[in-house]
């Protein structure tokens, strides 16, 4: 079962209700999208319900006022006008919130037929104008008498008609009734402005929907806003729930006799099927099929927004990240297998080997091999940071790797000779205060190329708790100040950092 997480701000969290299954069947029960940080605050579902109810209430009340206005007593007119103003304020506040939230979604957040809603509001306000609701309240005691406009006199005349019992002719009641009558025209003016703002926001929402279908850049920005919201507020708990499900599958008696990869592949395939070809919402299924193409997903969302909800969008990101997590886990298991190249005695695993190859351009640009000794410090840095085996006699294999991948001729002796003076210590532990068999001058000479190699590798690996000399706790200034991997294309860069996350153990589920 996938559940959402209580978030901290803005559009804060999805809280899934009881979901029958982790995937697939979970789409049958909508989660609850909360808009603020507290459990009791408004949900998107509640906002949509309140918007619809508020619109209906406002129009119904306005129609009562319109039909009955000329037949009502002045106090009734003032009360109804004030009630309509309050209803308009509530509708305006809810529409303002929806307008704000729409900036975070491609799909519609209001749950209203916006054109129809605007038409209802415009028609009502037109009727109210025609019914002279925008004028001061007047009262004619009889058919042939002159109208009275003074609120105090109007209240006195109303009292003569015995509509109000003695207790409601007290000063407080009289003052309240006078205020309602006196402020009616002002209240109507405020109401008119309020509804104009509501209609303006509806126009903005309609224009936004049209713009999203035409403007690729705007779609992508909005897609990223949804993505950021999901990753910030929902993915952590969804990930935890997925891990629970995976562990359950691994321990399931029905899977007895299968290895981990077989179980993971079967689960992954089930999820792919349920969210794509098995998805009842064909628009969402198509979006899920294109999950790796941000622009394509955003375009499909904009074009199919009439058949998609905000919940569908979060469902998409849940699937995308879950799919990625499972795929990365299986890929990581493979990459952490022993590396067979170089007799299986050089690199600790396949990920380390691939990472070392991708760092070629950075090593060439920021270290180089114009000084043959630099090969020794590259070897030492890779060994100290756990890419190559420490206990193997593998300097010859390292020389072969440098020739194969970096195109530089070197020898095992060139690599091992400078490192012999480490006297059993890792080079990363040495500095001017701990030179072992090196002279201080040698340490000063060798420290810079080693620091560059170490920094290039650790700029990717980002190992913060490694035992080392103090100077290595900061990146070499040249390495820190530059994008040392700028010669790699985007795919290779992504691969480089993925390999680093594999080596840190971040991509494994169990």
Of 124, 140, 138, 135, residue with least CA distance to 66: 124
Residue 40 clears pLDDT 80, i.e. is over it: no
Q: Can you give the pLDDT at residue 387?
A: 97
Residue 16 clears pLDDT 50, i.e. is over it: no
β-partners of residue 71 are none
Residue 21 clears pLDDT 50, i.e. is over it: no
Of the pLDDT bands very low, low, confident and very high (cuts 50, 70, 90), residue 161 is: confident
* DSSP state for residue 305 in the 8-state scheme: G
Residue 2 clears pLDDT 50, i.e. is over it: no
Give the tens place of pLDDT for each residue, 420-464.
989 888 999 999 888 899 999 999 999 999 999 999 999 999 998
pTM exceeds 0.85, yes or no? no
Of the pLDDT bands very low, low, confident and very high (cuts 50, 70, 90), residue 37 is: very low
> pLDDT > 70: what percent of the chain?
91
Residue 61 clears pLDDT 90, i.e. is over it: yes
Q: What is the mean pLDDT of residues 74-96?
A: 95
Q: Residue 420's Cα: distance from chain center in Å?
A: 52
Angle between helices 184-214 and 114-130 (to 10 degrees): 160
Contact 442, 432 (CB under 8 A): no
E strands, 162-224, in order: none
Residue 27 clears pLDDT 90, i.e. is over it: no
* DSSP state for residue 139 in the 8-state scheme: B
Q: Can you give the pLDDT at residue 71?
A: 87
Q: Any idea which residue has 């104008």 for tokens?
A: 129
Give me the phi and psi of 271, to 5 degrees please.
-65, -45
Give the tens place of pLDDT for each residue, 168-182.
888 888 899 899 999
**Half-sphere exposure in the Cβ direction for 147 (13 Å, CA):** 6
d(C-alpha 427, C-alpha 470), whole Å: 12
Contact 319, 291 (CB under 8 A): yes
Q: Can you give the pLDDT at residue 357?
A: 97
Give the tens place of pLDDT for each residue, 323-336.
999 999 999 999 99
Of the pLDDT bands very low, low, confident and very high (cuts 50, 70, 90), residue 12 is: very low
Q: Can you give the pLDDT at residue 35?
A: 52
Residue 471 clears pLDDT 90, i.e. is over it: yes
Residue 26 clears pLDDT 70, i.e. is over it: no
Contact 394, 388 (CB under 8 A): yes
Q: Can you give the pLDDT at residue 33?
A: 57
DSSP 20-75: SSSSSGGGGS--EEESSSSTTSPBHHHHHHHHHHHHHHHHHHHHHHHHHGGGS-HH
Cβ neighbors of 253 (< 8 A, separation 6 or more) are none
């Amino acid at each position: 079962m996938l559940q959402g997480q209580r978030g901290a701000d803005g559009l804060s969290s999805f809280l899934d209700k009881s979901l029958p299954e982790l995937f697939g069947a979970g789409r049958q029960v909508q989660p609850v999208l909360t808009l603020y940080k507290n459990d009791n605050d408004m949900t998107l579902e509640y906002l949509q319900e309140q918007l619809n109810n508020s619109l209906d209430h406002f129009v119904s009340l306005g129609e009562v006022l319109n039909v009955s206005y000329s037949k009502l007593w002045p106090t009734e007119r003032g009360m109804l006008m004030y009630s309509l103003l309050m209803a308009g304020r509530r509708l305006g506040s809810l529409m303002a919130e929806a307008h704000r939230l729409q900036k975070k979604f491609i799909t519609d957040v209001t749950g209203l037929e916006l054109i129809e809603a605007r038409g209802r509001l415009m028609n009502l306000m037109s009727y109210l104008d025609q019914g002279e609701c925008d004028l001061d309240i007047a009262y004619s005691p009889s058919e042939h008498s002159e109208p009275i406009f003074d609120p105090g006199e109007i209240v006195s005349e109303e009292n003569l008609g015995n509509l109000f019992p003695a207790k409601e002719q007290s000063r407080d009641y009289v003052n309240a009734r006078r205020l309602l009558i006196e402020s009616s025209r002002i209240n109507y003016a405020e109401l008119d402005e309020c509804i104009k703002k509501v209609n303006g926001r509806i126009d903005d929402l309609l224009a936004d929907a049209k713009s999203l279908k035409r403007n690729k850049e705007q779609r992508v920005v909005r897609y990223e806003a949804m993505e950021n919201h999901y990753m910030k507020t929902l993915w952590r708990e969804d990930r935890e729930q997925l891990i629970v499900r995976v562990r359950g599958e691994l321990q399931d008696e029905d899977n007895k006799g299968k290895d981990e990869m077989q179980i993971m592949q079967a689960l992954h395939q089930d999820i792919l099927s349920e969210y794509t070809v098995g998805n009842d919402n064909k628009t969402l299924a198509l979006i899920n099929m294109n999950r790796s193409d941000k622009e394509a997903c955003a375009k499909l969302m904009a074009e199919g927004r009439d058949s998609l909800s905000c919940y569908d969008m979060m469902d998409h990101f849940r699937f995308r990240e879950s799919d990625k997590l499972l795929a990365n886990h299986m890929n990581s298991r493979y990459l952490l297998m022993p590396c067979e190249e170089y007799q299986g005695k050089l690199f600790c695993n396949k990920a380390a080997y691939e990472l070392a190859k991708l760092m070629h351009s950075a090593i060439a640009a920021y270290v180089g091999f114009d000084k043959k000794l630099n090969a020794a410090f590259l070897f030492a840095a890779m060994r100290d940071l756990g890419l190559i085996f420490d206990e193997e006699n593998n300097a010859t294999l390292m020389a072969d790797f440098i020739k194969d991948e970096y195109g530089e001729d070197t020898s095992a002796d060139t690599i091992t000779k400078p490192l012999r003076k480490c006297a059993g210590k890792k080079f990363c532990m040495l500095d001017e205060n701990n030179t072992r068999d090196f002279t201080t001058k040698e340490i000063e000479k060798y420290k810079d190329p080693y620091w560059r190699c170490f920094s290039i590798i650790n700029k990717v690996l980002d190992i913060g708790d490694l035992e080392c000399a103090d100077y290595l706790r900061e990146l070499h200034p040249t390495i820190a100040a530059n994008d040392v991997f700028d010669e790699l294309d985007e795919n290779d860069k992504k691969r480089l950092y993925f390999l680093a996350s594999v080596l840190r153990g971040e991509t494994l589920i169990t």
